Amino acid sequence: MQRYVMDNNKNTNAQDFLVRDQVIQVLKNRFHTYGYKQVRTQAFESYDMYSNIIGTINKDEMIKVIDSYGKVLVLRPDVTIPLTRTTALNKAISSKNQRLFYVLDVFRQSTEQIDQKESTQAGIECFGENSPEIDSEVIMMATHTLKDLDFNNFKIEIGHAGFFKELLELTNLNNHEIEILQSLIQSKNLAEIEPFLSSLSIEENIKKAIETIPMMYGNPRQVIEQAKSIILNDSMQKILQNLIDVYDILQDCNVDHAVLYNLGLINNMNYYSGIIFQGFVDTIGKPVLMGGRYDRLGEQFGKPTPAIGFAFEVDYLIHALNQEGSTDKQDTFVDVTIIYDKEKQKEALLAAYELRDTGYQVLIDRAEEKLNTVTSTFRVQFSNVQHSILIQNKKQEFKHSAELFSIIRKEDV
């Protein structure tokens, strides 16, 4: 895997960028191994595209601008919606098994984080199929990526958007009452859920089912058994079976140890229709990734398209790695370091040029102490006495650059 390294000076912009760049490269490499191709969307989008879509970003959180023609635009607040629109409207694109990934900045303003209006998201979108196999593979990819980043303790919480929605369909609650109930369930505020429900006109069996939802958290098998007791119709039974099927596959993938079920999980993006999930690591309390299935979003662009995706919050990942000390490395790593005596300057500089020309990362200096904090695979010395290369603490001598290149190529196979 790609390693992320940095020196002791954590405040330099170059070092911050180095860590970010290497984390993003890890994410991109893993997405690529699952067959995803990188895409991008426009930084400025039509305000109408977001405002007309049901269950999208809160309009107050969008950062709006007016172009020279008087048209209202927004800085990209979300990537899923424009990718879904492109897939739905572009007849040249087959929506069957479209696997796309992105690394893009999104822009939102919220009362919770007044000074934070920009964040980097790295995510995937899989269009064209709705099956437990695809759901499981996407969740497995999320766990695979967290392992790549060397997080030892992480959990993926899995829920289902349809379970709670099915219960709401059996009530006559208005939007305001639903928002309050969602907030209470999301915060697992058991003390206030019961009196709130008692104040509403809801059948007793439905009320009991809703009260139970926040407690359905933890071991997937136990949650599944709990959920069986509140099934009220065929749709809820199908949803439960979907959760059972997904967990069976995750067990076969040997990632079930990292999975919890949480039927009280509610995502603020109301376009989710099926499996939803979020990922946590030990060092920070916010989810570092969020995602789910949104099969009905394409309908709003005139083309129903099954789809599932997730996005990592890159800034949260970097913060978590910093908290764990995973980025706290004293050494900079390069492929080759070259130290030379003044009389061998020309030969050393030409060797460095040719190595760089073939793709190696090279640092070169006459002063050995300047390169003592640099870790390299090959440590080369052009000396008046003898030329040598150090590889895994074993020194070999060479007479000229051609022999040096031969040794490096042979060892680098």
Tell me the residue type at 271: Y
366: annotated binding-site residue?
no
Residue 247 labelled as part of a binding site? no
Give the pLDDT mean for 183-188: 88
Same domain, 292 and 374: no
Task: Work out the mean pLDDT of the chain and round it to a whole number.
Answer: 88
Say if residue 244 is in the same domain as residue 224: yes
CA dihedral 216, 311, 82, 56 (to 10 degrees): 30
What pLDDT, in 10s, does the model give residues 303-362? 888 999 999 999 999 999 988 876 655 456 789 999 999 999 999 999 999 999 999 999
User: pLDDT tens digit string along 232-243?
Assistant: 999 999 999 999
CATH number at residue 254: 3.30.930.10
Q: Are residues 341 and 212 in the same domain?
A: no
Sheet holding 98-107: strands in order across? 37-38, 98-107, 118-127, 307-313, 289-293, 275-281, 154-160, 259-262, 217-218
Select from 290, 324, 358 the last residue of a domain: 324
Predicted local confidence at residue 7, as pLDDT: 37
Tell whether 108 and 238 lie within a shared domain: yes
Residue labelled with tokens 């790549």: 148
The span from the CA of 230 to the CA of 130, in Å, is: 25
Q: How many CA atoms lie within 13 A of 323 on its CB side?
A: 12
Beta partners for 211?
A: none
Q: Does 340 show up as a binding residue in the annotation?
A: no
Strands 98-107 and 118-127: antiparallel
The reply to whether 80 sits in an annotated binding site is: yes
**β 72-75/44-46 pair status:** antiparallel
Residues 65 and 170 in one domain: yes
In a domain, 187, yes or no: yes
Same domain assignment for residues 273 and 373? no
| 351 falls within a domain | yes
Bridge partners, residue 337, by sequence: 363, 379
Q: Is 2 a domain residue?
A: no
pLDDT for the residue 267: 75
Q: Is residue 4 one of the residues assigned to a domain?
A: no
pLDDT recorded at residue 9? 39
Say yes or no to pLDDT of 94 above 90: no
Task: Please indicate, yes or no, whether residues 274 and 337 belong to a single structural domain of this protein.
Answer: no
Question: Looking at the structure, do residues 288 and 388 belong to the same domain, yes or no?
Answer: no
Contacts of 53 (CB under 8 A, 6+ apart): 81, 271, 297, 300
Output the pLDDT for position 331. Answer: 53
| pLDDT at residue number 370 | 84
In a domain, 302, yes or no: yes
217 in the same domain as 143: yes
269 and 337 in a single domain? The answer is: no
Q: Which of 280, 302, 324 is the last residue of a domain?
A: 324
Task: Identify whether 1 is part of a domain.
Answer: no
pLDDT of residue 11: 45
Whether residue 221 is annotated as binding a ligand: the answer is no
Domain ranges, residue 320: 13-324
Integer-rounded Cα radius of gyration of the chain: 27
Instruction: Confirm whether 8 is domain-assigned.
Output: no
125 labeled part of a ligand binding site = yes
User: Same structural domain for residues 289 and 394?
Assistant: no
When divided into structural domains, the chain yields a total of 2
pLDDT single digits (tens) 238-267: 999 999 999 999 999 999 999 999 998 987
* CATH (domain of 388): 3.40.50.800
Q: Tell me which DSSP letter residue 203 carries.
A: -
Output the DSSP codes for 140-201.
HHHHHHHHHTT-SSEEEEEEEHHHHHHHHHTS---HHHHHHHHHHHHTT-HHHHHHHHHTS-
Is 36 annotated to bind a ligand? Reply is no
CA distance 146 to 27: 9
374 shares a domain with 314 = no
Q: Are 257 and 176 in contact (CB under 8 A)?
A: no
Q: CB neighbours of 253 closer than 8 A, spacing ≥ 6?
A: 136, 140
Is residue 95, in this structure, part of any structural domain at all?
A: yes
Task: Using pLDDT thresholds of 50, 70 and 90, give the confidence band for residue 2.
Answer: very low
Closest CA to 264 of 221, 198, 218: 218
Task: Please state, in angstroms and rounded to a whole number, the distance separating the CA atoms of residues 184 and 146.
Answer: 30
**Boundary-marking domain end, from 293, 324, 355:** 324
40 is annotated as contributing to ligand binding: no
Residue type, 93: I
Q: How far apart are the C-alpha atoms of 224 and 57, rounded to whole Å?
A: 31
